[in-house]
């Protein structure tokens, strides 16, 4: 699965925090979750659909948009 995201489409608060793609091992739903680094490191992330903590992090690609240099 490849996700392409534009930073301009995210809210300012979400752009300041890491976003991780996860797949829930209980309900099978894939979600993009915004969490703090501490929550991510401690495994305190929960599935937004079923509340399970059995999540597998997905590694997806992204495209970085830069401004043109003059």
CATH number at residue 28: 2.20.28
Rg (CA), the chain: 14
Provide the pLDDT for residue 28.
97
Structural domain harbouring 25: 7-58
Provide the pLDDT for residue 68.
74
Angle (CA) 57 44 8, round 5°: 60
Count of domains observed in the chain? 1
Provide the pLDDT for residue 19.
86
- 1 part of a folded domain: no
- Is 23 buried (19+), middle (13-18) or exposed (0-12) by CB count in 10 A? middle
- 50 part of a folded domain: yes
Chunked in runs of 10, what are the mean pLDDT values of the chain (70 residues)? 40 64 96 88 91 92 72
- 47 part of a folded domain: yes
pTM for the structure as a whole: 0.61
Provide the pLDDT for residue 11.
47
- 13 part of a folded domain: yes
């Amino acid at each position: 699965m490849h996700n392409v995201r534009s930073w301009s489409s995210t809210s300012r608060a979400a752009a300041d925090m890491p976003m991780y793609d996860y797949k829930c091992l209980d309900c099978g739903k894939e979600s993009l979750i915004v969490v703090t680094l501490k929550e991510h490191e401690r495994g305190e992330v929960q599935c937004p659909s079923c509340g399970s903590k059995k999540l597998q992090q997905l590694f997806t690609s992204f495209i970085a948009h830069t401004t043109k240099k003059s």
